[in-house]
Amino acid sequence: MLRAHASLVATLCLLALGCRREPAPSKGDGEPTPESSLPSVDSLLKRATKKRRLGGLDATFYVTADTHFGYGVPKDAPTDRDVLALPLGVEKTHQVALAAMDKLPGRPYPASIGGVVGTPLGVLIAGDLTESGQKEQWAAFLEYYGSSRKLPMYEGVGNHDFWDVRQQAIKRHGALWYSWDWGDLHVVCLGEAPDSKTLSWLEKDLASLEKDVPIVMFLHFPFQGPYSKTWFTRDKYDDKLFDVIQGYTVLGFFHGHYHGSGRYKWRGYNVYNVGSAKHRWHSFGVAHVTDTEFTVASWDYDRNAWEWWQKTTYRKSSPPNR
């Protein structure tokens, strides 16, 4: 890898030097005539190292939110309890949810979508992992969705996840916001909601991508409704987020917080509320991304049925209007 990088640098340097023209004679005022505008080595390197689409994308993943571990668990429950063998409160609902996730691959999608659910690459969890940020609640969360599961987990924090949980999330991912790639697909966790630090990081993160690389993002707080005011009115972060993502191929956003399920538009972008184990909207999202299509379907694991679904097509970025 290092040899290949060194070879690339040498080639680009030779290219830049070989294409450089000799400076033209000075003008009468003593200022040199500007050289023809040629790309610098740095700009050539940046172009060469940006993530590009390679094709063959076929990514399936689950998205849920508001797991609220600790909800409904009696305060006097034994601290050494085996939470998998002796589930209490919301843990019982999660056993049903995880069983549904295990059984779903191979199941047909609704007829208007076509095909069957593929093998998931992981599960995204959009905040409120715990009821009140207690250590034992985080431990139970990990037992259900973390180390004991074969399915990789990518979590973001929510307003219920206090200091201890946030520190554990930082240990796992290096920060409360992070990103990774599943083939051509770029996935971004924005944490609870993007603030100035998150947006500064996001701008740099997206700058490493070619504009046509497909992107999905997830965060805890919603984009519309009363609870969207808890972060969107702080220094106009919604406007800043919109500005940062312009020109990129953002397929959609996933969020939680409402303990509901549905989809809507935010400034032209698709947004999905993915259900919760707490209260009555017992569902999770099933997302599928190919080279040209983005599908999201909600699976109700109480009824064992599809709740709603949407398929969209994409090729390159077409920025929505503000």
Cβ neighbours of residue 36 under 8 Å, at least 6 residues apart?
A: 21
Stretch 30-47: mean pLDDT:
45
- pLDDT greater at residue 299 or residue 8: 299
Express each pLDDT in 135-150 by its tens digit.
999 999 999 998 657 7
Predicted confidence band of residue 319 (pLDDT cuts 50, 70, 90): very low
pLDDT, tens digit, 9 for 90 and up, residues 222-245: 887 666 666 555 567 888 999 999
Between 109 and 68, the higher pLDDT residue: 109
Distances from the Cα of 262 to the Cαs of 93, 155, 225, 281, 308, in angstroms? 20, 20, 13, 10, 7
User: Angle, nearest 10°, between helix axes 135-145 and 90-103?
Assistant: 20
CATH H superfamily, domain 58-313: Metallo-dependent phosphatases (3.60.21.10)
CA dist list (Å): 310 to 69, 154, 298: 30, 23, 9
> In this predicted structure, what is the pLDDT of residue 278?
81
Question: What pLDDT was estimated at residue 258?
Answer: 76
Distance CA 66, CA 125 (A): 8
pLDDT of residue 270: 96
Range with lowest mean pLDDT among 18-27, 88-97, 167-176, 212-221: 18-27
Cα-Cα end-to-end distance for the chain: 42
The pLDDT confidence band at residue 67, using thresholds 50, 70 and 90, is confident
Question: What pLDDT score was predicted for residue 300?
Answer: 95
pLDDT at 268 over 90: yes
